[in-house]
Structures are given as structure tokens and as C-alpha cells.
Amino acid sequence: MKIILASQSPRRRELLERMGITDFEVIPAQGEEIATRSLTPDQLVEELSRNKCAEVAATHPDDLIIAADTVVAVNNRVLGKPRNEEDAARMLNALSGRLNMVYTGVTVSLSGKTATEHEITCVRFRPLTQADIIRYIATGEPMDKAGGYGIQGYGCVLVEGISGDYYNVMGLPVCRLAKMLARFGVDTLALAAEKEQRA
């Protein structure tokens, strides 16, 4: 059995490795992200992660597939990845001085058995000036991030505090995923211990 991460996100790869999972293959889902309209953010990320997982599982039915999808929401309005710099500025203005909720849906599947869950983290932004927004966009960081910011990068200076799983904001709720993987027979702490003993 192989472990497959159905995501091209370098942050998710890094987080899997931090969990002790080093022997895995990356096979991103290629399908367009289409979800049912009128879903709440938690339902949306669960559906999108299920779709990604099912796509990869269709060609790798005997392997363990991990798929995830993350969105940022302000007052239940979902902010995806910015289309351009103007869109990034609009998102950052919406986040300025406010709370936003980061939702990540995670799906794990193996041999026809599938589990899907989601995690929510509350992030509080400091008030941003227009100069702050322009300079942050000039770093290029907002352009491939849900909600237009990356807490693990330069965006850390925009965040006053969080409530919940920090790693969820990076795109993978590692504590929840570890508990899910345990139900599929994968003990991440045992893998981490083996990795350290080999080092």
C-alpha cells in the first residue's frame, strides 16, 4: 500500500513530513473544482476534498489517498485564491481588522473505505493600511493562497491572533488528520519514531 497525497501544495507536503510521513507520492487531482451551489463553507471544503480523493482513488484503488481543500470565509462569504492583484487587494481589505474563518476539509480513503471531516480555525487580522496591502501584494505571496494570505510566510505580520489549529490555516489540520489516519491503520507517531531511529 502506498500513501498518496492528492495535492500539489508544497505546504501540505511539508506538513505530512512533519507528521512523520516521509514515504508518500504526490498525485494531484486534475479535475476542475466544482461544488454544489449554496453550500456552507464547511460543506464546501468537505465536498471538494471528497471529489479530489475520489478522482485519485479511481486510478489507485488499493492505495491510501489523502485529499484536502481549504477556504477562507468572512461572514460565511468564501474567499478563494485571488484571480489577480486587484482581487487580492479586495480580499485583504475585507480581512483588515476583522475575524476570518479558515475551513479545511480532509478526506482519507483506502480500498473503498472513505472518511471525510473538516477543521475550523478563527484568525484575527490587525487593521491594514492601503500601504500595507500594496506592499504585501508586492511580495507575490497572496496570489496562490486561499483568502489572499499565507500565515506561514510574510502574512504572519498581518495576524494578531488565532483560535484553533495553526496548521489548519496552512492547509492541513494535522491533529485531525493523524486521528483519521489511525482509523486506517496508520500510526504517525510510530512512523516518526522509526524515522528518527534511522537517522
Nearest one of 58, 59, 84, 54 to 69, comparing CA atoms: 54
- SS3 state of residue 177: helix
Question: From CA 144, how far away is CA 95, in angstroms rounded?
Answer: 17
Active site residue 62: no
Residues 6 or more apart in contact with residue 46 via CB below 8 angstroms: 105, 107, 116, 117, 118
The Cα-based distances of 24 to 88, 175, 192, 195 in angstroms read 33, 18, 14, 14
Instruction: Say if CB 20 and CB 188 are below 8 A apart.
Output: yes
The backbone torsions φ and ψ at residue 153, rounded to the nearest 5 degrees and listed phi first, read: -115, -145
Residue among 69, 87, 132, 144 flagged as catalytic: 69
Annotated catalytic residues are 69
